Amino acid sequence: MNIMRVLSLLFKSETGAVKTVLSRLLIFLVIFLVACVIAVMGLGFLLWSSYLYFSSILSPFLAALITGSGAILLGVIIVLVAGLITGSIKSTKKKASYKEFLNTDDLGMASEFINEHPLESGLTAAVLGFLAGSSPDARRTIAELLVELRQSQRMN
């Protein structure tokens, strides 16, 4: 699979739509990063104020222990809730059915590629999902791109 060919097909077919989607993605990422920095700063102030409150009641060592333990407990709870919401924490029966689905003949090569390159596969899926959700023209372009890729693979 020639990545440069795929990118050239993508940019030739819908230049305006791709630029619009990429600019929206960049704006979203910048705003998201700013929001994350502000949230981390707010959490820092919250932890510092709880430490100052507990240190006025208890010894500073015990106040630091309580504040740190509370922060760790909050982090664990957030990770567990995120795992339950996203479905990462599920029964092994469902995971076995996914493995069986991915090991079929049609998806054998895709499964190998995803296992070898998990980061690239995840990022590609995220970007294509964002592009597909942005406009009907982008969905059509992605569909045409996938058809072209499938035809080029059959020729090889």
Say if residue 97's pLDDT is above 50: no
Contact 149, 18 (CB under 8 A): no
Count of the separate structural domains present in the chain: 1
Contact 69, 47 (CB under 8 A): no
Which H or E element spans position 14? none
Predicted confidence at residue 45, as pLDDT, reads: 93
Question: pTM score, two decimals?
Answer: 0.43
Domain of 137 in residue numbering reads as 3-155
Instruction: Give the DSSP letter string of 60-123.
Output: HHHHHHHHHHHHHHHHHHHHHHHHHHHT-S--HHHHHHHHHHHTSSTTHHHHHHHHH-HHHHHH
Q: What is the DSSP letter of 130?
A: H
Predicted confidence at residue 98, as pLDDT, reads: 47
Q: What is the pLDDT of residues 20-49, one digit of tens each?
A: 767 787 888 889 999 989 999 999 999 999
